[in-house]
Amino acid sequence: MHASTSAAHAKIPAMTPPILLRRLGRVDYEPTWRAMQDFTAQRTADSADEIWLLEHPPVFTLGQAGKREHVLADIGIPVVMIDRGGQVTYHGPGQVVVYLMLDLRRRGYGVKELVRRLEQAVIDLLGAHGVAAERLAGAPGVYAHGAKIAALGLRIRNGCSYHGLALNVDMDLAPYAAINPCGYEGMAVTRTRDLGIAATPEEIGEHLISCLAEVIAVR
C-alpha cells in the first residue's frame, strides 16, 4: 500500500444493505481510531455501513483488557491504549488492516457471530491460496501452521461495530518479540509470505474485501 490521505469510495456488490468501502492507504493509528469513534457516535439508523481498508505505521495497541506487562520491552514503537476488546497486538507496514463499521442490529446478528464471520473470511482467503487455517478456542483470530496470522478486536456501541481485523502479509515480524501477542507468552506469529503466498498486500487486501463481502452479507 502507498501512503495516502485520500479515500477511494466504491460500493461493494451484492451487499444488502450496501457497504461503502474506503481505501485509506497508510494512515496513523490514533486519528484513524478517533475517526471510527466519531463515525459510530454520529451514525443514524439510515447510515450506510462502511469498511476501511488500510495499513498503519509501526504501533502497539493495548485493548481494554490489556495488561501493560504484556509489553515486554521498549523498542521505540509507541503504545496506544484503546477501546477495543483484547490484549496487545502490533500493526505495521505490510499488514492488511480492515475496520468494519457495521450496524449489527440491522444485519441480524451479534458480536460473537461477527467474530466468527471475520475469522471465516480469513480462513477462506488462505484456503484459496492452498493454506489450511483454523480457529483456536479461547483465542480469537486465525492460525496457520501453529502460528497466529490474523488478529481480531472489536468494540460495539449502540449495536454498531468498529475496529476489526489485521492480517499479516509481508511485514517485519521482529516487533512481536517485544510483546506477548494477544496476551499469550511465546505465541508464534506468521505472515502470508512465509506460507508461500506471493500476493502483495494490495492484492491480499482486495481479496480479503471480497471474502468479507461474502460472509458479512449472509444472514
Banded pLDDT at 83 (limits 50, 70, 90): very high
| Domain at 53, CATH number | 3.30.930.10
What is the residue range of 45's domain?
A: 8-217
Residue 2 in any domain: the answer is no
Residue 1 in any domain: the answer is no
pLDDT at 1 over 70: no
Higher-confidence residue of 53 and 63: namely 53
Residues 60-64, mean pLDDT to the nearest whole number? 91
Tell me which amino acid residue 33 is: W
DSSP state of 73: -
Residue 3 in any domain: the answer is no
Concerning whether 160 is annotated as a catalytic residue, the answer is: no
State the pLDDT at residue 10. Answer: 46
Of 96, 133, 182, 187, the active-site residue reads 182
Banded pLDDT at 3 (limits 50, 70, 90): very low
Where does the chain have alpha helices with state H? 29-42, 104-107, 111-128, 201-217
CB-count exposure of residue 184 (10 Å: 0-12, 13-18, 19+)? middle
Number of compact structural domains in the chain:
1
Residue 45 in any domain: the answer is yes
Residue 131 in any domain: the answer is yes
Using CA atoms, how far apart are residues 57 and 187, in angstroms rounded to an integer? 22
